[in-house]
Structure 1
């Protein structure tokens, strides 16, 4: 089975992990989002030293490519792409909404799951999956009114990091959520076995919405 490096800098907590033979070998978390660019390579180096490995020993790189923090997504993906380019290693991108659905569906069996993460006040990143993790509603950016429409009449398990007006079953995702490694490792190992890699040259973060900018008054 492959040796895989995992990078998730999509939120406030950065996750750097290493798996081999389908199991977790080592893990690092960093809880200061503003320091991710400064520490990511140090965390990777520390992780490899713990496992007595070098970058060339990796079989592939796995990145949580969003949605999430614009800056964090760029930090994580650019780091992974730099390593992959330099060492000719394959790259696999993972959507955070699907990772959450896979993680929590192992704990709460449901026929459908809706993942809704707060993007900004009144705005959400949303996707809907069935129990086999097939996408029923593609990951997208929605305003609260549109999310209400999506949830109406649903009997899905709602996975969200904010309190939404929903009467069905729900699980609250911690505001400082960090990727659960058991389900991610299983997913990534299965993808590697089937050769489902992403195009290194054209891979981009899953922003799902345009960057918010303000117009200069000058």
Structure 2
């Protein structure tokens, strides 16, 4: 038996799920910018209430570890670490792009395409990686500036499904290939952490709560204030 509280805040979505033995008991989520700090603790309370569980019942806390929004990651990871300290429970980290690929693989129903999750970064840059139809990684996570030749070698011979909050802005460029497919409605969910979280829990692969930090991939760059 394993009851895992799962937290996703790496992108525009703020999502919390309570998972029992791989099955979703309750989920609460909102896809809206800059609300994560305001709603995350409320969502946690609501999933416990919906599932009829308490903090004492939890076996581990899993968090989407990045890459993604600097602020979002800080909020999610800080919340997860705080809960682990308070409950004396282990912390599980699931890489965000891997979770997205797992979610799309389940949603995609076995369609023979490569999966390319994209998280919006600045301008035409995205955080991305490449996975097969089952969600197994083919290429590592990287920050990519999308141009006319991006993914050209792969799109020549394979259909690739681009999805996530960074996919829409790339469609005009990558969509020139007939092998490029897009799901611009994909929204991150804490439920997509389940596969990775269960694997880590079963292997007892936990993070050091004191020293764990999000996977930012790039250094944080603060924007200029208006009038500066």
Taking structure 1 as the reference length, the TM-score comes to 0.85
Q: Secondary structure at the match of 1:44?
A: helix
Q: Provide the alpha-carbon RMSD of the alignment.
A: 2.6
- In the alignment, what sits opposite 1:129? 131
1:149–1:111 CA distance, 2 compared to 1 (3 A): closer
Q: Quick one: which of 181, 184, 187 aligns to 1:173?
A: 184
Deviation for aligned residue 1:159? 2.1
Q: How many residues align?
A: 216
8 Å contact from structure 1 (residues 130, 136) kept in 2 = yes
CA distance in 1, matches of 2:131, 2:94: 15
How far apart, CA to CA, are the structure 2 residues paired with 1:201 and 1:96? Answer: 21
How is 1:4-153 mapped onto 2 (pairs within 5 angstroms)?
4-106=4-106, 107=108, 108-110=110-112, 112-145=114-147, 147-148=150-151, 151=154, 153=156
Q: Give a deviation string over 1:94-138, Cα, whole Å, max 9, x none.
A: 122111212222324336433333322211111012345333221
Q: Hey, what's the Cα distance between the residues in 1 that align with 2:13 and 2:73?
A: 12
Change (3 A) 1:116 1:42: closer
Name the residue aligned to 2:210: 201
Contact persistence 2:94–2:196 (CA under 8 A): no
**Any conservation in 2 of the 1:103–1:180 contact (CA below 8 Å)?**
no
Shift of 1:80: 0.2
CA contact (8 A) 1:60 1:90 kept: yes
Q: How far apart are the structure 1 equivalents of 2:180 and 2:152?
A: 17
Structure 2 unaligned residues grouped into runs of 5+:
none
Distance in 1, matches of 2:155 and 2:33, equals 35
By how many angstroms is 1:66 displaced?
A: 2.0
How far is 1:7 from its partner?
0.7
- Relative distance call for 1:140 and 1:154 in structure 2 (3 A) is farther
Query: Quick one: structure 1 residues 105 and 154, their matched pair in 2 at CA, closer, same or farther if it must change by over 3 Å?
Result: farther
- Bigger Cα displacement from structure 2, 117-126 vs 56-65: 117-126
CA distance in 1, matches of 2:133, 2:30: 32
Point out where structure 1 has 5 or more consecutive residues left out of the alignment.
Answer: none
Shift of 1:151: 4.3
